[in-house]
């Protein structure tokens, strides 16, 4: 099996990013990925899983997520309910212990890729609550006196949008990679991965306008890779003649989402 | 191995720990860096640095330690510091180009190789900071090197693109913009404002929240018959008075101020927020809108009377008044002065409110005697630069008692 991540046919990774993934695997540390929205942080885990032929387990973090949920949940209500109706096996607590995503990754019979997506969404203390588990790759279930230990250390990829500062103790244990916004050459490669048939001229015009919009100073939300991909798609489907792209900015709402930004783009239309 | 590198990183303010450094050793042991310096750079960065805001500091430390291994034309961090004079920009902007280009008679067409040759030579020889000269690498000069110069077509060294004419940018430190002492934007504001919290349940509001502990206690005492206990909600008691400069020199920062304004209003956990505007300096009128139109104002004394002293005051401005705007009793050309100078009005603000901070988007670092007004204002109010760091410090200052 392939143990070295080299990007995939669908995911264009920079050399540095590939190196970061491989080093995180070699050093057995979680890889923390930061970057502008739309630079493909979440996609990375999918690509790694695919390239290495491993199963991907995704743990989506929300503002209400607690660390405990990732380990296991003891479904007391179900047990109480079953108890009232005299169901079988109520005295077996293990039946009511449901492993969370992290538990699932530990308990898996083969090595998996675990994506902890948008860890910064959760409570400030959340990452600290996982320190031991990520370090030792084990946790203890109080109710059944059982220790769940990782059979194969999962490859852990953590993404963050930098909405909150992560605690130092947590950061110390990670390998960090910041995904830069792709350069024009990389971007071209990325778009072509999605649309191998795209017409050269259309792509060039669309990319020029896209990078010019990003360069306007007053733009609040800079359009990202995914927006460019949507735009190129829209332009292709709409069958817009390439010479009209710059002049009329068709479907510009796909690229720029805020009212104020649309206004700014229109004002600067002459320079795009 | 590389102990000097470790120490140098800590010296630059990066909190690299032993654990992380040992991880790097482990990576070296496993041969993950190969034998290339570039590879080593990336591996050590991904292990030791945990935020893109610190990349710049890391770059500097790395340069310091492995300078010898790098190419000769690398621009030293020290030289870039001499050239980092973004605040001279305004002065330079108008006059520099006309003035300097007039003086410079020599060739319009500049030979790229020649410039590069001289640049390398001078990089070797130069040992001090130069601004406005005509030979060394410096700011606002007319040699082909440095930044903000009037010369068309030379080598720009660091700084912001002035006239867009330099044909090469050497040593553009790519991650400088990520530093967290940079001027901040958008949602980082909101995060900082969250610091400004002072919970209090001694508010004159009805008891509208379920007190779970109380309810359990009462219910148990009641023999298991449910008895509900309510309590007053804990609310943030902080009240905020925001005074914003909307003078001409603040125009470059308008979108920044807009963000700040939005952030304050989105942080809807304050008990009350009042916002007024002023033009360059505070006099006896405060304007209700950022346009600062005549008549659309309230008396500053009215504000003193109606907005109590327990409001926390944030003044945002560049403190770049002309000395007469600050000290003369007729310094305000926009409206009446009330017989006091701007300086005296600022003193009144300080006397009336217990907690006042001044946020300045373009504060000079350290002492800046050439900015007379700024220095004077700094003596009255604690002044912080409008950056992530500065705002956080300011918020702490507003919260703690002395």
Query: Maximum Cα–Cα distance for chain B, whole Å?
Result: 101
Domain assignment present for residue A170? The answer is yes
Q: Are residues A258 and A197 part of one domain?
A: yes
The answer to whether residues A157 and A246 belong to one domain is no
Backbone angles phi, psi at A70, to 5 degrees: -75, -25
Chain B CB contacts of A34 below 8 Å: 51-52
Q: Give the minimum alpha-carbon distance from B2 to chain A in angstroms, rounded to a whole number.
A: 19
* Nearest Cα residue to B281 out of B240, B324, B239, B313: B324
Same domain, A134 and A232: no
Weakly modelled stretches of chain A, pLDDT under 50: 1
Question: Strand, coil or helix: what is B307?
Answer: coil
Residue A1 inside a domain? The answer is no
Any CB–CB contact under 8 A between B255 and chain A?
yes
CATH of the domain at A35: 3.40.50.300
pLDDT number for residue B198: 63
Residue B137 to residue B171: CA distance in whole angstroms: 14
Best CA proximity match to A53, nearest among A16, A5, A21: A5
Q: Does B27 touch chain A (CB under 8 A)?
A: yes
CB pairs under 8 A between A and B: 52
Which of A168, A194, A165, A190 has its CA nearest to residue A180? Answer: A190
d(CA A186, CA A231): 17
Assess whether A126 and A196 both reside in one domain: no
Give the SS3 label for residue A121.
helix
- Give the end of a domain, one of A138, A162, A179: A179
Q: In this structure, what DSSP letter does residue B173 have?
A: -
pLDDT of A253: 85
Whether B47 sits inside 8 A of A168 (CB atoms) is no
Domain endpoint, select from A153, A179, A205: A179
Whole-angstrom Cα distance, residue B62 to residue B47? 14
In degrees and rounded to multiples of 5, residue B260 shows phi and psi of -60, -45
B191 neighbourhood in chain A, CB within 8 Å:
163-164
Of B17, B46, B255, the CB nearest to A20: B46
For residue A223, the enclosing domain spans: 184-271
From the options 3.40.50, 3.30.70, 2.60.40, 3.30.450, give the CATH code of B187-198+238-399.
3.40.50
pLDDT value for B205: 63
Interface probe for B, chosen from A30, A158, A167, A175 (most Cβ of B below 10 Å), is: A175
Residue in A with minimal Cα distance to B20: A172
Q: How far is B353 from chain A (nearest CA, A)?
A: 32
A37 and A101 together in one domain: yes
Q: Which of B17, B27, B42 sits opposite A27 (nearest CB)?
A: B27
CB contact under 8 A, A27 and B255: no
What is the C-alpha to C-alpha distance for residues B121 and B116, in angstroms, rounded to an integer? 9
How many domains are contained in chain A? Answer: 2
Interface test with A, best of B17, B51, B59 (most A CBs within 10 A): B51
- HSE, side-chain direction, 13 A CA sphere, residue A208: 15
- Co-location of A224 and A264 in the same domain: yes
Distance CA A29, CA B149 (A): 48
SS3 state of residue A255: coil
List the structure tokens of B1: 């191995």
Residue A177 DSSP class: E
Residues A201 and A87 in one domain: no
Q: Are residues A26 and A159 in the same domain?
A: yes
Q: Considering only CA atoms, which of B317, B315, B321 is closest in space to residue B372?
A: B321
Q: Which residue has the tokens 């000069």?
A: B141
Query: From its phi and psi, is residue A147 left (phi > 0), alpha (psi between -120 and 50) or beta?
Result: beta
Burial zone of B135 (CB within 10 Å; 0-12 exposed, 13-18 middle, 19+ buried): middle
Name the CA dihedral angle for B393, B398, B400, B402, rounded to a multiple of 10 degrees.
Answer: 100
Residues A118 and A65 occupy one common structural domain: yes
Q: Does B20 touch chain A (CB under 8 A)?
A: yes
User: Cα–Cα distance between B346 and B54 in angstroms, integer?
Assistant: 37
Number of Cβ within a 10 Å radius of residue A142: 10
Strand B155-157 versus strand B235-236 pairing type: unpaired
What is this structure's pTM?
0.56
Answer yes or no: are the C-beta atoms of B189 and B242 closer than 8 Å.
no
> Is A93 domain-assigned?
yes
Residue A121 lies in a domain: yes
Are A168 and B39 inside 8 Å of each other by CB? no
Tell me whether residue A208 is in a domain: yes
* Nearest neighbour of A172 by CB, restricted to B17, B46, B52: B17
HEC secondary structure over B49-104: CCCHHHHHHHHHHHHHHHHHHCCCCCCCHHHHHHHCCHHHHHHHHHHHHHHHHHHC
Is A23's CB within 8 Å of B46's CB? yes
Report the alpha-carbon distance of residue B282 to residue B329 in Å, rounded. Answer: 12
Minimum Cα–Cα distance from A31: chain B residue: B46
Q: Which residue of B has its CA nearest to A171?
A: B50
Distance separating alpha carbons of residues B190 and A174, to the nearest angstrom: 27
Do β-strands A138-141 and A146-149 pair in parallel, antiparallel, or remain unpaired? antiparallel
Please determine, for the modelled complex, whether the ipTM score is greater than 0.90.
no
User: Which of the residues in chain B have pLDDT under 70?
Assistant: 1, 68-192, 195, 197-205, 234-235, 266-269, 331-336, 366-367, 401-402
Same domain, A190 and A78: no
Rounded to a whole number of angstroms, the distance from the CA of B162 to the nearest CA of chain A is 15
Shortest distance between the Cα of A216 and any Cα of chain B, in A, equals 13
Q: Name residue, tokens 């000269």.
A: B133
Comparing CB atoms, the residue among A26, A164, A178 nearest residue B52 is A178
Name the residue in chain A with its Cα closest to that of B17. Answer: A172
Closest Cβ–Cβ partner in B32, B186, B187 for A23: B32
**Cβ–Cβ of B46/A163 closer than 8 Å?**
no
Which member of A166, A172, A175 has the closest CB to residue B46? A175
> Do A158 and A188 fall into the same domain?
no
Tell me how far apart the terminal alpha carbons of chain A are, to the nearest angstrom.
48
- The domain boundary residue, chosen from A158, A179, A200: A179
What integer pLDDT is reported at residue A101 of this predicted model?
93
DSSP run (H or E) holding B129? none
CA B223 to chain centre: 61
Q: Are residues A58 and A110 in the same domain?
A: yes
Pure H helices in chain A: 15-27, 41-52, 67-71, 76-84, 101-107, 126-129, 131-136, 168-172, 184-194, 200-215, 225-238, 242-248, 259-267
């Amino acid at each position: 099996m392939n143990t070295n991540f080299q990007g995939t046919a669908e995911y264009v990774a920079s050399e540095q990013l590939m190196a970061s993934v491989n080093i995180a695997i070699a050093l057995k540390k979680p890889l923390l990925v930061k970057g502008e929205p739309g630079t493909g942080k979440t996609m990375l885990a999918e690509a790694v899983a695919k390239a290495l032929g491993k199963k991907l387990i995704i743990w989506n973090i929300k503002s209400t997520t607690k660390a405990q949920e990732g380990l296991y949940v003891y479904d007391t209500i179900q047990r109480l309910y079953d108890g009232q109706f005299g169901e079988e096996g109520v005295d077996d607590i293990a039946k009511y212990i449901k492993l969370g995503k992290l538990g699932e990754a530990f308990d898996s019979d083969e090595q998996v890729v675990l994506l902890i997506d948008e860890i910064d969404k959760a409570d400030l203390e959340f990452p600290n609550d996982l320190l031991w588990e990520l370090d030792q790759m084990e946790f203890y279930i109080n109710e059944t006196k059982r220790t769940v230990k990782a059979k194969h250390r999962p490859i852990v990829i953590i993404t963050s949008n930098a909405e909150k500062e992560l605690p130092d103790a947590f950061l110390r244990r990670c390998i960090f990679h910041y995904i830069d916004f792709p350069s024009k050459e990389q971007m071209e490669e990325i778009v072509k991965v999605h649309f191998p048939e795209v017409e050269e001229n259309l792509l060039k015009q669309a990319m020029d306008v896209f990078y010019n919009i990003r360069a306007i100073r007053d733009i609040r939300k800079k359009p990202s890779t995914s927006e460019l991909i949507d735009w190129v798609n829209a332009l292709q489907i709409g069958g817009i003649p390439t010479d009209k792209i710059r002049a009329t900015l068709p479907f510009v709402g796909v690229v720029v989402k805020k009212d104020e930004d649309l206004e700014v783009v229109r004002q600067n239309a002459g320079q795009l | 191995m590389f102990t000097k590198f470790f120490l140098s990183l800590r010296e630059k303010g990066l909190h690299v720990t032993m654990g992380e450094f040992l991880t790097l050793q482990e990576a070296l042991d496993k041969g993950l860096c190969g034998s290339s310096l570039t590879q080593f750079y990336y591996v050590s960065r991904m292990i030791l640095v945990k935020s893109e805001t610190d990349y710049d500091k890391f770059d500097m430390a790395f340069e310091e330690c492995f300078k010898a291994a790098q190419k000769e034309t690398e621009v030293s961090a020290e030289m870039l510091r001499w050239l980092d004079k973004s605040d001279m920009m305004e002065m330079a902007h108008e006059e520099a180009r006309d003035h300097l280009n007039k003086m410079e008679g020599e060739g319009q067409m500049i030979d790229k190789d020649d410039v590069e040759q001289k640049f390398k030579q001078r990089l070797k020889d130069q040992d001090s900071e130069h601004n406005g000269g005509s030979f060394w690498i410096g700011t606002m000069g007319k040699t082909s090197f440095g930044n903000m110069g009037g010369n068309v077509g030379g080598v720009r060294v660091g700084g912001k693109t002035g006239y867009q004419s330099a044909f090469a940018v050497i040593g553009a430190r790519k991650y400088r913009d990520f530093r967290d002492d940079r001027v901040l934007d958008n949602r980082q504001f909101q995060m900082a404002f969250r610091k400004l919290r002072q919970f209090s349940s001694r508010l004159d509001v009805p008891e509208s929240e379920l007190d779970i502990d109380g309810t359990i206690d009462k219910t148990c005492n009641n023999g298991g018959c449910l008895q509900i206990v309510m309590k007053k909600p804990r609310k943030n008691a902080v009240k905020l008075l925001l005074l914003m400069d909307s003078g001409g020199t603040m125009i470059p920062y308008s979108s920044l101020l807009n963000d700040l304004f939005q952030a304050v209003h989105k942080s809807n956990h304050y008990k009350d927020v009042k916002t007024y505007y002023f033009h360059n300096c505070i006099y006896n009128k405060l304007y209700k809108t950022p346009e600062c139109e005549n008549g659309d104002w309230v008396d500053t004394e009215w504000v003193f009377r109606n907005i109590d002293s327990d409001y926390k005051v944030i003044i945002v401005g560049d403190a770049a008044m002309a000395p007469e705007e600050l000290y003369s009793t007729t310094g305000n050309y926009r409206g009446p002065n009330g017989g006091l100078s701007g300086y005296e009005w600022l003193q009144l603000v300080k006397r009336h409110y217990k907690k006042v901070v001044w946020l300045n988007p373009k504060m000079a670092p350290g002492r800046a005697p050439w900015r007379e007004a700024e220095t004077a204002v700094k003596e009255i109010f604690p002044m912080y630069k409008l950056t992530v760091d500065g705002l956080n410090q300011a918020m702490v200052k507003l919260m703690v008692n002395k």
